[in-house]
Amino acid sequence: MNEGKGHCLCGAVSFTVKNMNYSVDACHCGMCRRWGGGPLMFVDCSTDVTFEGMENITVYDSSDWAERAFCKKCGSHLFYRLKGNNAHQMLVGQFQDQKNFHFDLQVYMDRKPAFYDFGNKTRELTEAEVIEEFGPEQNT
């Protein structure tokens, strides 16, 4: 079992993922770009995430299907969580050890603005393809 650990910028919130997934995804939807100023790059950590410093986490109810969280001390974005299954999409930049990560998937490619492109070869899905494959409750 691969364990992953990370924390916010100031260290007030830390987390442990018991069964680490090393696949990195990027979301280009307008909501993710507005939240972080660019695409959201995350690792699907399912529900097996434990937090320390929970009192420093603020959760924002961002849509009917998901919520987003940040550290109330430093403002670091922590996760995107699906309401239906409580799955956490943890921001890849929060992890201490990033050597095993690989960039695999980009979603909402039809929403990506023209001013940037990634050079990595990844699987790419449009909004309609995301909804078809994962269902509307998986929307980001």
**Cβ-contact 69, 59 below 8 angstroms:** yes
**Cβ-contact 43, 6 below 8 angstroms:** no
Domain assignment of residue 104, given as a range: 4-138
pLDDT in tens, 64-90: 989 999 999 999 999 999 999 999 999
Instruction: Tell me the whole-structure pTM to 2 decimals.
Output: 0.91
Three-class HEC string of the chain: CCCEEEECCCCCCEEEECCCCCEEEEECCHHHHHHHCCCEEEEECCCCEEEECHHHEEEECCCCCEEEEEECCCCCEEEEEECCCCCEEEEHHHECCCCCCEEEEEECHHHCCCCCCCCCCCEEECHHHHHHHHCHHHCC
Query: What's the rounded mean pLDDT across residues 32-41?
Result: 96
The residue among 65 and 62 whose pLDDT is bigger is 62
Q: How many domains does the chain have?
A: 1
Query: What's the rounded mean pLDDT across residues 34-51?
Result: 95
Q: What is the pLDDT of residue 133?
A: 84
Q: What is the pLDDT of residue 80?
A: 95
Question: Which of the four pLDDT bands, split at 50, 70 and 90, describes residue 110?
Answer: very high
**Which domain CATH number covers 52?**
2.170.150.70
Query: What's the rounded mean pLDDT across residues 40-52?
Result: 96
Query: What's the rounded mean pLDDT across residues 116-120?
Result: 96
